[in-house]
Amino acid sequence: MKNEELNIAITGGGTGGHLKIAKVIKDEFAKRNINLIYIGSTGGADFEWFSKDNAFNYRYFLPSSGVVNKKGLGKIFSLFHIFKLSLKAKKILKKHNINAVFSVGGYSAAPASFGAVLNFTPLFIHEQNAHIGTLNKALKPFSKRFFNTFLYNDPYPVENVFFDSARIRKELKTIIFLGGSQGALAINDLAIKLVPKLKEKNINIIHQTGKKDFERIKNFYKENNINADVFDFDPDLVQKISKADFAISRAGASTLFELAANQIPALFIPYPYAAGDHQYYNAKFLEDKNAGFVIRQDEIDVKKIENFIFNADLEKISRNLAKINQKEGAKLIVDEILKSFVN
């Protein structure tokens, strides 16, 4: 079957980590002139990301919501609601003659993913994390292909710019604190405690605070006469990362593999309330390969962290990071999917 005859639905999201995968896979499909539709949720970040994305011929946003945290009758009602939305998604798949559904997981993916199973449409799933999400675990037996870097050494789709600006770190001149666009109070507070030692050693500071804590952290640096690059959000974050020699970060899968692609050594402080503690297991994956460090939020010790920062063998870690992932991950995944449609 020719590419221009293929119709693919992309689904899933709810968080930036899911949606980054959806975006890079969408871009790869679009390069190949494949017809695309998107099926997401009105309640996640999906609408903001894709409602005006013209790479999709059609975009549908259904009122889906999470089930995992519901209890009793609430869970039963939510499951029934998803079933009804799945029937609606099934009709959408039929209407557009969809040949395959690509899901990145998250509650936004439930209707289209179950709709694919009900419609006998091939379902391809990308699980970002070391700990498989509830929806993906339930649908894994029904998928034609289940992509996961941690389990199967599949490539993790990362924008090429992170690889293109990669370099071997040898000396600590600049440190970057990454709490994500929403920020991480624990990382912001840790930065404040580390600043005296960083200042003493003339280490430059780049700090992503998140929007809620931006003013507090900005004022802290100003009051202490420290010339730091402080920002809440930057769509061109790779430029900030590539300037740094060490990162202190949360451990969402996309962030972790972006840092790995750029070969920047990092200390990960996982978000403690992530489902299945997946951020910890994501970071442990790198630590076990001598390609990073991980410390739990409730075990933060400033002296211990200073030891990580100032005594790490940056060059060794940086070179180990080069072995973690491969460039053109989205291309390799799309190649694998399209094999199913070779006449």
pLDDT digits (tens, 9 = 90+) for 98-151: 999 999 998 899 999 999 999 999 999 999 999 998 889 999 999 999 999 999
Backbone φ and ψ for 137, nearest 5 degrees, come out as -65, -40
Q: Smallest Cα–Cα separation from 264: which of 163, 129, 185, 161? A: 163
Local mean pLDDT, 10-residue blocks, the chain (343 residues) = 88 82 95 96 88 95 72 64 92 97 93 97 96 92 97 93 96 93 86 95 96 94 95 91 97 95 97 92 97 96 94 97 95 95 72
Pair 126, 105: CB distance under 8 Å: yes
The dihedral built from the CA positions of residue 42, 46, 47 and 52, taken in this order, carries a sign that is: negative
Cβ contact 44:106 at 8 Å: yes
Residue 233 is predicted with a pLDDT of 87
pLDDT, tens digit (0-9, with 9 covering 90-100), for 185-228: 999 999 999 999 999 999 999 999 998 999 999 999 999 999 99
Closest C-alpha to 122, from 302, 288, 336, 271: 336
pLDDT recorded at residue 69: 57
CATH number of 160-321: 3.40.50.2000
Q: What is the pTM of this model?
A: 0.90
Backbone phi, psi, residue 294, to 5°: -140, 140
- SS3 of the chain: helix, strand, coil, percent, to 5: 50, 15, 35
Rounded distance, CA 250 to CA 252, Å?
6
Of 76, 253, 83, 259, the C-alpha closest to 177 is 259
Architecture of domain 3-157+327-341: 3-Layer(aba) Sandwich (3.40)
- pLDDT at 112 (0 to 100): 96
Q: How far is CA 85 from CA 92, 109, 116, 331, in A?
A: 11, 11, 12, 31
The residues near 242 (Cβ < 8 Å, ≥ 6 apart) are 165, 166, 167, 262, 264
Q: What is the C-alpha separation between 332 and 2, in angstroms, rounded?
A: 18
Supply the pLDDT for residue 68: 58
The pLDDT, as a whole number, for residue 80 is 75
From CA 16, how far away is CA 201, in angstroms rounded? 35
Q: What is the pLDDT of residue 217?
A: 95
Q: What is the predicted pLDDT for the residue at 67?
A: 58
What's the pLDDT score for residue 340?
87
Residue ranges, CATH 3.40.50.2000, the chain: 3-157+327-341, 160-321
**Which pLDDT score, from 0 to 100, does residue 203 have?**
97
Amino acid making up residue 247 = A
